[in-house]
Amino acid sequence: DVKVTQSSRYLVKRTGEKVFLECVQDMDHENMFWYRQDPGLGLRLIYFSYDVKMKEKGDIPEGYSVSREKKERFSLILESASTNQTSMYLCASSLPYRTTGSDTQYFGPGTRLTVL
C-alpha cells in the first residue's frame, strides 16, 4: 500500500513565524501535491511538483512556497504565517498518467495548522 505521511497532525504557530510542513511518500511517485481544505471550499491546490526540483503553482500559491530536493519528500513553507492560513493541509502523491493510465492520488492524514 502507498503510504503518505505528514510530519505533524496538529500544529500551533504565531503570526509571522516561518512554518515548515513536511510530507513523505514511500512509493516512488513522481507527482506530489499540497492542498488546503476549508469548510465549504473543498480542496484547493497550493502547489504541485512533477519531479525533483520541479514545481508549479496551483490555484492559491500566495503566501506559500515549496521545496522538493528528494523524490520522496515535498515540503510546504509558510514564509510568514498569518491567521488566514489557519487550515487543514493535505499532502498527496501520484504516479503520472503516462505510467498508469490514470492519476489516482494518495493522501496523507493531514496537518491541522492554527495560526494565532
The footprint of another protein (CB under 8 A) covers 4, 31, 33, 35, 40-43, 45, 48, 50, 56, 58, 90, 92, 94, 96-97, 101-110
Exposed, middle or buried by CB within 10 Å (0-12, 13-18, 19+), for 90? Answer: buried
- How far is residue 93's CA from residue 77's CA, in Å, rounded to a whole number? 18
Minimum distance of another protein from residue 94's CB (angstroms) = 6
Q: 72: which 3 cell numbers?
A: 520522496
Q: How far is CA 82 from the centre of its chain?
A: 17
Closer residue to another protein in complex, CB, 41/116: 41
State which residue, 45 or 77, has the beta carbon closest to another protein. Answer: 45
Minimum distance of another protein from residue 88's CB (angstroms): 9
Q: Which is nearer to another protein, 11 or 45 (CB)?
A: 45
Amino acid of residue 52:
V
Report the nearest approach of another protein to the CB of residue 13 (Å): 20
Which residue bears the cell 503570526?
A: 15
Pick 57 or 70: Cβ nearer another protein? 57
Min dist CB 16 to another protein, Å, is 29
Rounded-to-integer distance, Cα 3 and Cα 29, Å: 11
